[in-house]
Amino acid sequence: MQKITTAAQMRNMDRIAMHGVYAMASAVLMENAGHAVAERAGAWLDGWDGKDVVLFCGKGNNGGDGFVIARHILAAGARVYVYVLGKEEDYSDEARQHLHTLQQLADEETCLLLPAPQSDADWQLLQKRLLASSVVIDAMLGTGFHGSLRQPLASIVAEVNAAAAAGAVTVIAVDMPTGVNSDTGAVSNGDDDEDGPLFADMTVTFGALKRGLVLYPGRACAGHIEVDPIGMPGPLLMQLEEDPAYLLQESDIAEIVVPRSPDSHKGTHGTIAIVTGSSQMAGAALMAAHGAVRGGAGKVFLRVPGATAPYCIGVQPEIMVRGVGTGDHFTAADADEIIAESKNWSVLAMGPGLGRDAETKEFLLKVLAAVTCPVVLDADALNLLAGEKALIASRGSRIIMTPHLAEFSRISGLSMAEIKADPIAAARQFASEWKVNLVLKGAPTLIVSAKTGNVYVNSTGNAGMACGGMGDVLTGMIAAMIAHQGMSDLCSAACAGVYLHGAAGDACRKDRGPYGFTPMETADALPQVLASLEEDLALPILQQPLIGGK
């Protein structure tokens, strides 16, 4: 599990490393950072020998890293054109030291140091140089960006993007691509067409993964990402942060989705009840139930309104269907039957295709007030529960809510713009106030623990999954994961369901194409994903934070 940091958290780690008990020299960290980019990017590019490289070095320490990179790749056989975008007095002492070393290497043949372009002739020369080079290294801002890019950086970024689009150069970003907010993934978007962010082919980031590298639209600017510890003390890299966020990895899921005991039986793997659907949305109920079947549930019961049952009975023999009441939607009169039967259920899932009738809301509230098993809430159940914070908060520790962004906006009261401005903060705040485990579906999906407030960012899934019904299948998968043998808590189950759902979508993309595969096909790919997961489970992962733990 990878820790994902904010710029402030990373600055604090730097401060402790340099000025705390470790007393590391800042020039050493800068040297390590520059060397890391030279080594990692060099390996990715099959070496530096014979390559013409343009480097843009900003005024801050990111620019100092660029000076170090230039020296290392020069020694590896590259020719470097280094644009020094600040005055010498603008740089920190350590950056100025590295600049001084580079100045001694400048020979006008293999190493050229150049000021920021100003005249039309300067810009024309830059354009020609970019088209004639093979690599660009962006060491302009790092984690220091917010808002919109200013000149000359905005125009430099536009020229680099144009050269990259023409296929002339490969772009390497140092720590963060210029124009991407390292905390939120927001990108430069001013009034001018030239105000956009830099699009890198590779980003080498330092110490820990930055949130802006996993959140869109910033993620789309980062390309291939590698994290280098740059010699930071291990305890600092492993320390728990005040508002922790982590990137889910396959090894994390392999540890919580343990292989089944050979002597287990259907009772061991839970009884999942999907109580949802309406006559106009029977398919949503069936997809949720199918997700639970493919998720490994021991038994799956589907309870739908009486008039909906004929559309569901016999469609899939593994799903035990029964109608409740006689109408085409649930009413409060149907609640007692569900409440009584729930005593035999491991998990209850509600919402897909449920409908938004006022009578259905009465049914939903009555059921939620009485059942004692874990509950997964999605789709129409969420829409009906807007404004019902008190009821949910009183039972939230056993509830998983799974809204997409529009549903989350309705129940949280936040605008889409407010959510997208800082989705991790918005999700954490909601989970805290409503006291629930939250799955905020999107690219990427975020999972928040009701117990710890920890945020987990999913790393699987693809744009081919953007179609109706994917969320319904996910609801069933999460319900099945809650009942999975050995599953410790609801947040762990939510993480497992989300990760495996995305991995199944990735398997479909590989086997079938980039889009056009269906939610049911995604669910059907899950057993092969689980098989791969068990094959890859080899050695225990040491010293990682437990998803549902402290």
Has 404 been labeled as part of a binding site? yes
In the block, tokens 């600055």 appear at 11
Is 245 contained in some domain? no
**Same structural domain, 196 and 294:** no
Has 308 been labeled as part of a binding site? no
Per-residue pLDDT band for 549 (boundaries 50, 70, 90) equals low
Has 189 been labeled as part of a binding site? no
Which amino acid appears at position 232 of this protein? M
Has 441 been labeled as part of a binding site? yes
Which amino acid appears at position 526 of this protein? L
Give the end of a domain, one of 240, 264, 291. 240
Q: Within the chain, how many helices (H) and strands (E) appear?
A: 22, 19
pLDDT digits (tens, 9 = 90+) for 496-508: 999 999 999 999 9
**Same structural domain, 283 and 389:** yes
Has 67 been labeled as part of a binding site? no
Collapsed DSSP state (helix, strand, coil) of residue 535: helix
User: How big is the CA angle at 34 (ends 28 and 37), to the nearest 5 degrees?
Assistant: 140
Per-residue pLDDT band for 243 (boundaries 50, 70, 90) equals confident
Has 363 been labeled as part of a binding site? no
**Same structural domain, 177 and 213:** yes
Has 445 been labeled as part of a binding site? yes
pLDDT digits (tens, 9 = 90+) for 434-465: 999 999 999 999 999 999 999 999 999 999 99
Collapsed DSSP state (helix, strand, coil) of residue 37: helix
Has 143 been labeled as part of a binding site? yes
**Same structural domain, 233 and 350:** no
Give the end of a domain, one of 184, 219, 240. 240
E strand spans, 428-503: 437-440, 446-448, 455-457
In percent, the amount of the chain with pLDDT more than 90 equals 89
pLDDT average, residue stretch 133-161: 94
End-to-end Cα separation, the chain, in angstroms: 14
Collapsed DSSP state (helix, strand, coil) of residue 421: helix
Has 472 been labeled as part of a binding site? yes
E strand spans, 254-405: 271-275, 299-305, 319-324, 347-350, 375-377, 399-401
Sign of CA dihedral 212, 215, 221, 226: positive
**Same structural domain, 189 and 327:** no
Tokens of 198: 């830099």
Has 63 been labeled as part of a binding site? yes
540 pLDDT higher than 70: no
Is 541 contained in some domain? no
Has 351 been labeled as part of a binding site? no
Has 516 been labeled as part of a binding site? no
Collapsed DSSP state (helix, strand, coil) of residue 342: helix
Name beta bridge partners: 303: 275, 322
Has 146 been labeled as part of a binding site? yes
Residue 3: count of CB within 10 angstroms of its CB: 20
Has 145 been labeled as part of a binding site? yes
Asked if 329 and 356 touch (Cβ cutoff 8 Å), the reply is no
Has 142 been labeled as part of a binding site? yes
Is 183 contained in some domain? yes
Give the end of a domain, one of 240, 259, 292. 240
Has 336 been labeled as part of a binding site? no
- In sequence order, the 6+-apart residues with CB closer than 8 A to the CB of 150 are none
Tokens of 131: 């088209």
Has 98 been labeled as part of a binding site? no
**Same structural domain, 213 and 289:** no
Q: Which domain holds residue 163?
A: 2-240
**Same structural domain, 300 and 356:** yes
**Same structural domain, 291 and 154:** no
Polymer length of the chain: 550
Has 442 been labeled as part of a binding site? yes
Is 53 contained in some domain? yes
**Same structural domain, 280 and 362:** yes
Is 356 contained in some domain? yes
Has 254 been labeled as part of a binding site? no
Is 348 contained in some domain? yes
**Same structural domain, 302 and 440:** yes
CATH number of the structural domain spanning residue 188: 3.40.50.10260
- Nearest by Cα to 152 from 56, 53, 66, 80: 56
As a whole number, the mean pLDDT across the chain is 94
**Same structural domain, 182 and 35:** yes
CA distance 185 to 193: 19
pLDDT digits (tens, 9 = 90+) for 264-288: 999 999 999 999 999 889 999 999 9
**Same structural domain, 415 and 524:** yes
Has 62 been labeled as part of a binding site? yes
Per-residue pLDDT band for 195 (boundaries 50, 70, 90) equals confident
Q: What is the number of domains present in the chain?
A: 2
Q: Please give the pLDDT value at position 1.
A: 83
468 pLDDT higher than 90: yes
CATH number of the structural domain spanning residue 427: 3.40.1190.20
Is 435 contained in some domain? yes
DSSP-assigned states of every residue in 30-72: HHHHHHHHHHHHHHHTT--TT-EEEEEE-SSHHHHHHHHHHHH
Is 335 contained in some domain? yes
Has 540 been labeled as part of a binding site? no
Name beta bridge partners: 152: none
pLDDT average, residue stretch 33-54: 97
Has 360 been labeled as part of a binding site? no
